[in-house]
Structure 1
Amino acid sequence: MSEALVAAEAAGTGVEPVPAASGARQFWRRLRTQRAALVAAAVVALLLLVALAAPLLTALEGQDPTSYHPALIDSARGGVPTGSLGGVSADHWLGVEPQTGRDLFARLVHGARVSLGVAFAATAVQVAIGVTIGVASALGSRWVDQLLSRLTDIIVAMPLMIMSLALLAIVPSSFPRPVLVALVIGLIAWGNIAKIVRAQTLTLKGLDYVSAARLSGWGTLRIARRELLPGLAAPVITYAALLVPMNITVEAALSFLGVGVKPPTPSWGQMLTAADVWYQAAPQYLLLPAGALFVTVLALTVLGDGVRTALDPRAASRLRVGTGRRREKKATATGERAGGTSVGQDGGPSAADTTTGGTAS
């Protein structure tokens, strides 16, 4: 509730306002009831920990992602790693790359730093631009709203992959590629979140606590910062949680097409690009980055769905398919036990209740 509205009610009734329950505490309480979301959160936390600790992990293994090991490659067979399982050994925990002999474990964990870093950075850029444009459009004048809305429509209509390919192709190679990929994705794909924020802001403008803040003499910027942004937190966080896996996929696709992160910097999409011709001779070279991408995108998607459900308890989770009847039967049985009536299998009173009733009569 608005601070201005709380103060007005307290002054009118002479009673000190009672502080509301913590929104973060309610969110965590709801999120704890969703086991799939908790498992997904643990997987995401583990992936982030691996990405942050990549230099330490590779130092523990004694390898790095760029060193070549030609002695571990069988040149007579076209560059296939020697040994079993693609060269897995105590020195190379997941084997080595075909043709180059670079350590797969080192490239996989360092690729997590690039793929996750690009995805989260692009999401931050999208959220910053989308929230700014959406709030400005909803709170601005009619002409400002029309101008920003048409700009948002143009951004939404732009094909993301084609525009990214065009921009990444003309930028000089001296510019840091991971930073460039994150900026390109963020600057092109903010239109949908801007539309969501504009629609939600228009809804919040008509609520009582925003009107009370306006009548109290607060300016537009203060109302937006103190009243509207807290109300926008739930939809923005929900959509941002779903944007991260989308951006991971886009980065992988751009690297797969050859315009993303350039060698020797490792990324999962770049590893898939180099592995497309080795799926028979060295299948682990393809399966490792593909499996990492699959697990990451799945975990982030499940976590995003759990966050959406926890922030908006009225919306049922899309992952709970076919459980509506069980929840309804459980609620009915609980209500009947609380009312003191037991129900038989045919829907009527049980034999115990009939016997008791006959004896009493």
Structure 2
Amino acid sequence: MSEALLAAQAPEAPASGASGARQFWRRLRTRRAALVAAAVVALLVLVALAAPLLTAIEGQDPTTYHPSLVDSARGGVPIGSFGGVSGDHWLGVEPQTGRDLFARLVYGARVSLGVALAATTVQVVLGVVVGVTAALGNRWVDQLLSRVTDIIVAMPLIIMALALLAVVPAGFPRPVLVSLIIGFVAWGTIGKISRAATLSLKNLDHVAAARLSGWSTWRIARRELLPGLAAPVITYAALMVPANISIEASLSFLGVGVKPPTPSWGQMLTSADIWYQAAPQYLLLPAGALFVTVLALTVLGDGIRTALDPRSASRLRVGTGRKQEPKAAGATETAKAATAKETSS
């Protein structure tokens, strides 16, 4: 009986998935701020991927020193107006070293976005594996993994990352190391989300039918549970990316993240704290890039969350079409008052 039920439902799955994708896109299109944020994120990713091409067009690279472009008598201030902006150096040069700012900025985008996406991938994989295993395991497995998850959630992320980064040999690639540490230290919340969602899904009829058909636990998790986990996992992962960008920038700012000569926005901010008066663009450019990236990813993540779950209200009041609600409410109240007046007369 259960096999017949599963066989009858199997052809409908692709259509249901396609319909769900269309509904998601329809809801997302109504949020103008999310679409603008998606365009900004796509542009940032394109710039990061095309960094070698862009710097080749400019004719510069992020590591070459240009001591002739800085005034050593004034402590290394760039020569020329606006921090040494010219046809050869589109955004000027770095104080003291004379390295090209445009090249370091676009290569820094590769590091910041790459570290954040890699760390988010590690968090999602670990969190989903531990959460699903805890929900499908016996009582002892669930208790053990739940306590481990609680410990991970309670750990102070920055302090743990500082401690681990300080003891790893300097020869290990820092971007990879930062990605792994952030991923291994901060997967606890998505593990809790995955466990709670799996506990709800495993009691549904189609999962019970699969279990009665003799399917293995792995096959049930892969075919029946993981598709149901997609919405909450994607929602939380979209909000984790900007948080991981901020963490990477914080670690680089503290001097334990990405090391020179590899460019990073947080590392540039570390060097710029004493140059904000003599060369303000050296501080404003990476700070502005971080602000725009985190804001765009946050708005996009909020739009994805509300599009996947239309019952949840958006945390942001921009681009959600909520300005029409007071007008509709006012029209409703006016209609009620007119009806009451006609009835009384």
Larger radius of gyration: 1
Kindly state the Cα deviation for residue 211 of structure 1 after the two structures are TM-superposed: 1.2
Tell me which amino acid in the other structure corresponds to 1:327: E
Preserved contact between residue 86 and residue 96 of structure 1 (Cα < 8 Å): yes
Any idea what the Cα deviations from partners look like across 1:222-275, whole Å, max 9, x if unmatched? 110011100000000000001100100000010011110000000000000000
Post-superposition Cα deviations, 1:37-76, rounded to whole Å, max 9, x if no partner, equal 0000000000000000000000000000011111111111
**260, 267, 270: which is aligned to 2:257?**
260
- Aligned: 1:208 with 2:198: no
Q: Aligned equivalents of 2:4 and 2:288: distance in 1? A: 52
Letter in 1 for 2:107: H
Cα RMSD of the aligned pairs, angstroms, is: 2.6
Cα–Cα, structure 1 residues 152 and 56, in superposed 2: closer, same or farther, change >3 Å?
Answer: same
User: Counterpart of 2:325 in structure 1: which amino acid?
Assistant: R
What is residue 104 of structure 2 aligned with on the other side? 107
Higher normalized contact order (CA 8 Å, seq sep 6+, divided by chain length): 2
Matched, 1:40 2:37: yes
Displacement after TM superposition at 1:24 (Å): 1.6
Change (3 A) 1:3 1:332: farther
Give the C-alpha shift of residue 217 in structure 1: 1.9
Map 1:64-103 onto structure 2 (within 5 A): 64-103=61-100
| Secondary structure at 1:206 match in 2 | coil
Q: What is residue 173 of structure 1 aligned with on the other side? A: 170
Whether 1:315 and 2:312 are equivalent positions in the alignment is: yes
Q: Percent identity?
A: 79
Q: Which runs of 5+ in 1 are unaligned?
A: 11-15, 337-342, 354-361
1:133 aligns with 2:130: yes
Task: Normalising by structure 2, report the TM-score.
Answer: 0.92
Contact 1:138 / 1:198 at 8 angstroms: preserved in 2? Answer: yes
Match of 2:115 in 1: 118
The counterpart of 1:273, out of the listed 266, 270, 275, is 270
- Using the TM superposition, give the Cα deviation of residue 323 of structure 1 relative to its aligned residue in structure 2, in angstroms: 7.1
Does the aligned pair in 2 maintain the 1:252–1:269 contact within 8 Å?
yes
Determine the structure 2 residue equivalent to 1:330.
328
- Once residues 4 and 271 of structure 1 are traced to their aligned partners in structure 2, the CA distance between those partners, rounded to angstroms, is 62
Q: Which residue of 1 aligns with 2:338?
A: 348
The 3-state SS of whatever aligns with 1:292 is helix
1:219 to 216, 219, 222: 216
Q: Distance in 2 between matches of 1:79 and 1:347?
A: 74
Give the partner amino acid of 1:293: L
SS at match of 1:113: helix
CA contact (8 A) 1:4 1:216 kept: no
Alpha-carbon distance between aligned partners in 2 of 1:60 and 1:68, rounded to the nearest angstrom: 18
Kept after mapping to 2: 8 A contact 1:245/1:300: yes
Partners in 1 of 2:4 and 2:74 — Cα distance?
76
Q: Which of the residues 48, 55, 62 maps onto 1:58?
A: 55
CA 1:152/1:324 → structure 2, altered by over 3 Å: closer, same or farther?
same
Normalized against structure 1, the TM-score is what? 0.88
> Which structure 2 residues correspond to residues 8-23 of structure 1 after superposition, within 5 A?
19-20=15-16, 21-23=18-20
* Number of residue pairs aligned between Structure 1 and Structure 2: 340
1:282 corresponding residue in structure 2: 279
1:324 positional shift: 5.5
The answer on whether the counterparts of 1:4 and 1:213 sit within 8 Å (CA) in structure 2 is no
